[in-house]
Amino acid sequence: MKLSDADFEILRDFIYNTCGMYFTIQKKYFVESRVTKRMENLSMKVHGEYARYLKNGPAGSGELKQLLNDLTTNETYFFRNPPQLKALENQLLPEVAAPKEKIGFRKLRIWSAGSSSGEEAYTLAMVLLEKKETTLKNWIFDIVGTDINDEVLTKARDGVYNSYSVRHVPENYMRKYFKKESTDRFVISPEVKKLVNFQHLNLYDDNKMLFMKTFDFIFCANVLIYFDIASKSKVVQHFYNNLQPYGYFFVGQSESLHGVNDKFKTVHFPGGFAYKK
C-alpha cells in the first residue's frame, strides 16, 4: 500500500501534534512500512481510513500507542556511555551530594527520559549501589525511567536481557547484579530493580511533564533526534524546569542543545560533556 504525500503529511502532522516527533519526507518510506503493518493488523486498505481511526474515538488512542511503538527504535545497552558514567561517579555525584550531606538530606533523584528497555536506568542504579558501599552510605536513591513505548517498558520491568545488551557490563558488575540463566539470558538482580520505577510518559505532554520535579540528574540520550527545533525547545525547557538548581542534564554525545536552549551551561569532562543548570 503506497502512502501518498498528502496522506503522509496528514499522519505526520497528527503524530507531531500528539507527541512532538517529526518525520521529514525522507522518512516517508519508514513511516509507510510501519503504517502498512498496523493497517494489515486492522484489515484496513485505505490510509485515509486509518488516519480517521487514529483521530476519532477511544480505540484510536490505543492504536496510536501501537503505532508509536513501531515508529520508535530502541537501540540501547548497558554502560553505553563510559565517559558520562565516569564523570558522574567521580566528579558530579560527589559535587551534588556534598551540600546535601551537610544538611542531612541524603537523597538523590535521577530521571532516565526515553529509558527504552531499561538498560540506562539500571546502569545508573548499579553505579549508585557501588557508591552506597563507599561514599554514599545510608543514602536513598530514586530513579525514574520513562518512555512512550509500552512494549519496551514491559521489558524494562521484567529486567531480562540478552548477551548483546550486557556485552559492555564490567565483570564485577555481572557477578554482583546479574543472574545468568543461559548463554543469552541474563536477569537483573532484585536489588537493582527496586531502585527504578518505570512509567509511561509522552515528553510532549505539558501537564504530565509539570509533575516531573526535583531531579538532581536527567539523562535523555538519543531521544531529541525525533523532534524538530520547536519540539526540542519545548521539551528541553521542561527538563530545565524539572532540574534542581545545581542539577545536570545529559544528552547523547553526538547531540547538542545549540540553537535549542541557551539557559544551560556546558560542562566538559574527559571524553564528553554535560549541561548544568
Q: What is the pLDDT of residues 213-265, one digit of tens each?
A: 999 999 999 899 889 999 999 999 999 999 999 999 999 988 999 999 999 99
Domains observed in the chain? 5-71 (1.10.155), 82-276 (3.40.50.150)
pLDDT of residue 266: 97
- Contact between 109 and 142 under an 8 Å Cβ cutoff? The reply is yes
What is d(CA 184, CA 182) in angstroms, rounded to the nearest whole number? 5
Alpha carbon separation from 28 to 11, 33, 75 (Å, rounded): 10, 9, 21
Grid coordinates given for 263? 539557559
Residue 78 has pLDDT above 60, yes or no: yes
Grid cell at residue 250: 545529559
Q: What are the tens digits of pLDDT across the range 27-56?
A: 899 999 999 999 999 999 999 899 999 888
The pLDDT tens digits of the residues spanning 165-204 come to: 999 999 999 999 999 999 999 999 999 999 999 999 999 9
User: pLDDT-derived band of residue 1, with 50, 70 and 90 as boundaries?
Assistant: low
- Tell me, what's the pLDDT at 65? 85
pLDDT at 58: 64
Mean pLDDT of 76-83: 95
Packing angle, helices 5-19 and 28-41, rounded to 10:
90
Mean pLDDT of the chain: 94
